[in-house]
Chains A and B, each alone.
Chain A
Amino acid sequence: EDQVTQSPEALRLQEGESSSLNCSYTVSGLRGLFWYRQDPGKGPEFLFTLYSAGEEKEKERLKATLTKKESFLHITAPKPEDSATYLCAVQAPYGGSQGNLIFGKGTKLSVKP
């Protein structure tokens, strides 16, 4: 069964303290891995798409990387405004569902000043 597991469930950082969030997946034939940010009471906001192992994407203090079994979201020198839940999702492989993304439960990040 296709599955996405994120760790840790929650992460507390001090402002400026860099760290990484993990997303491990089991899917037969990855077509895309997506990172989203979600603020409380709001819909997920798209951050990155990664397709192949070794690929990296960056946006401000965030950097996403992909291996054959997992993805990391690296946060460099975070600020309080980076506090949010970060969701990882994979696209279902060919032959399976063509429409949906399979999401993990997310990592809730809190950055204290």
Chain B
Amino acid sequence: DTGVSQNPRHKITKRGQNVTFRCDPISEHNRLYWYRQTLGQGPEFLTYFQNEAQLEKSRLLSDRFSAERPKGSFSTLEIQRTEQGDSAMYLCASSLVVLEVYSYNEQFFGPGTRLTVL
């Protein structure tokens, strides 16, 4: 399977604990995105990387959230001191962008990590 993979698929944690999620993008894709989705809503952008560089962070990404993409391959999203409001589906997507001007940025999503904070 050459699609986007995410681990774990489900995570239950207690408030105040730290959690880390992993995303493995499609191998030839240079961009990787993190989104968050709550029930009845569309995905909301959190941050994205081009290769190993984090190029943009949403205002939704509080100081408790940090993302990395070492060596431009897989990415991790860490949430420190989790709160009940962090409960959501965390989605990762990847795309291949060669030249921004000519790219339509088709993003392919992974299955998501469902986080429940008790």
Contact = CB atoms under 8 A, between A and B. Distances in A.
Q: Do A and B bind each other?
A: yes
B58 A46 contact: no
Interface stretch (B12-20, B65-73, B75-83, B104-112): B104-112
A105 B31 CA distance: 24
Contact of B109 (A32, A43, A104): A43
Interface string B29-45: 00101010000111111
Given A43-B93, A49-B106, A100-B33, 4 more contacts: A43-B4, A45-B109, A46-B108, A101-B45
A36 to B, nearest CB: 8
A34 B43 CA distance: 13
Interface in A68-113: 87, 89, 91, 94, 97-106
Size bracket, chain B contacts: 20 to 34
Interface secondary structure of A, over-half rule: loop
16 contacts: A32-B104, A34-B106, A44-B43, A44-B109, A49-B106, A89-B42, A91-B105, A98-B100, A99-B33, A99-B48, A100-B35, A100-B56, A101-B45, A103-B42, A103-B44, A105-B42
